[in-house]
Structure 1
Amino acid sequence: MPISTTERTLAPRTALSRRHLFLAGVVGLSSLAALGSVAPARADDEVWSEEFMTRPETREGFLVDDLDEWQEENAKFVIAVCTGHGLDESAAKIVLITAIVESWLRNYEPAVDLDSGGLFQQRPSMGWGTYDEVRHKKLAIDAFLGLGDHSAAPGLLQVAPDYADWEPGAAAQAVQISAHPERYSEQLPAAQILWDRFADEVAPYTD
């Protein structure tokens, strides 16, 4: 199911540049210098591109006070999509804690748990969409919320339509059915920081 079999532990701080740290596991540390010209695929007018929404990113760790640019953009995009659907802070925090636990806010490409992938480690074999759809950030967020026509799996608005009355971690678990349900609530302080930090910066995403 969405949970990774790899033990998730907080990575220690590092002196490496945060901008492309996520690529270290893919291209190797010796190649990081060649990536200096790569920038987040988001224009100044807050239009997220298709390349941004489908870009594979490697999970390397999560520190709420030390996000690299891709983690920051993904946090903003989660908030923008939620508000674009007319959903509130409570919904956004449920989505954020889930993405933090499942992928450390990265559009994770390799299947680390059977056929899972993307922000929420959704599995095509469990009805979340195709291989490409679960790795498309907008489609993955919509599927988690229960608003994606491509997904047959029940999302948040199906399993917890009164999510605002739920403990957020319990609502996340109702969607994810994780082997480690306790991990979602642990990330609530981080989700609150992300909401407070970025909610006023991004316009609702409605495309």
Structure 2
Amino acid sequence: MFVSTALCCAIAVLAANSATVVAAAARAGLEVPAPVAVPVLRVLEIACPDRYADLTLAQLLPTGVHGRQQRFVPNAEQLHNARRIVDVVARRGMPPYAAVVALATALQESTLRNLTVAVDYDSLGLFQQRPSAGWGTPEQLIDPVYATEAFLAALEHKVPNYSSVPLWEAAQATQVSAFPVEYAKWQEQAAHLTLALLAE
């Protein structure tokens, strides 16, 4: 069962009695000098709304749908791999749309199958990432969690505004495919998968 982790916000408040803070630090095993007379800051954590709750399909397609769409019914293995991608996105605290981009990319590259035997030169894994292009070792790239982490890190680095550009452009800037617009045909399926997996 997928459980999204609620993000927390930090709020700083003045502690009227600095001895309270000193005592808390001591309990945490920190060495603290003698209490000071001036007020100090204490950090409290409060729960913030879960960005994965109450999502709509429209929110997962922020730039609209480009071109004709393609769909298929994923089998158990493909659903398992899709779930792992969404799990990594949530663990990294990224917007839900990052899962849509990642799923659409994996749908195009491998139809959500973990390619453990190299295809198209040395491409491997869910995203057909190539060891020779610096994505990682063959052993790393056939680990769906590692492959997803690598894809998302590259997405954030290369396309920091990925939520505001067409999905195929974000995927292409990350992957550098010979067929860049092909990612677009999986937008709707990726969005529906994301919505279903986050609702589990």
Report if the CA contact (8 A) 2:71-2:186 is conserved: no
Give the match's secondary structure for 2:168: helix
- Quote the RMSD (CA, aligned, Å): 1.6
Which residue is equivalent to 1:28?
Answer: none
Please report the TM-score for the alignment, with normalisation by the length of structure 2. Answer: 0.64
Which residue is equivalent to 1:194?
Answer: 193
Counterparts of 1:1-207 in structure 2, within 5 Å, are: 64-146=71-153, 155-201=154-200
Please report the TM-score for the alignment, with normalisation by the length of structure 1. Answer: 0.62
Q: CA deviation at 1:131?
A: 0.7
Q: Deviation digits for residues 49-78 of structure 1, max 9, x if unmatched? A: xxxxxxxxxxxxxx8552111101111111
Alignment partners' CA distance in 2, 1:184 and 1:64? 13
What is the one-letter code of the residue matched to 1:115? D
Of 63-72 and 179-188, deviating more is 63-72
- For structure 1, the residue ranges without an aligned partner over 5 or more in a row are 1-43, 47-62, 147-154, 202-207
Alignment partners' CA distance in 2, 1:64 and 1:161? 28
Percent identical? 38
Which residue is equivalent to 1:152?
Answer: none
Aligned length: 134
- For structure 2, the residue ranges without an aligned partner over 5 or more in a row are 4-69
What is the one-letter code of the residue matched to 1:166? V
Moved over 6 A (4+): none
Q: Deviation digits for residues 12-31 of structure 1, max 9, x if unmatched? A: xxxxxxxxxxxxxxxxxxxx
Label 1:129 to 1:162 Cα distance change in 2 as closer, same or farther (>3 A): same
Q: Deviation digits for residues 107-161 of structure 1, max 9, x if unmatched? A: 1122111111000000001100001011111110010011xxxxxxxx1011011
Alignment partners' CA distance in 1, 2:72 and 2:180? 24
Structure number with greater Rg is 2
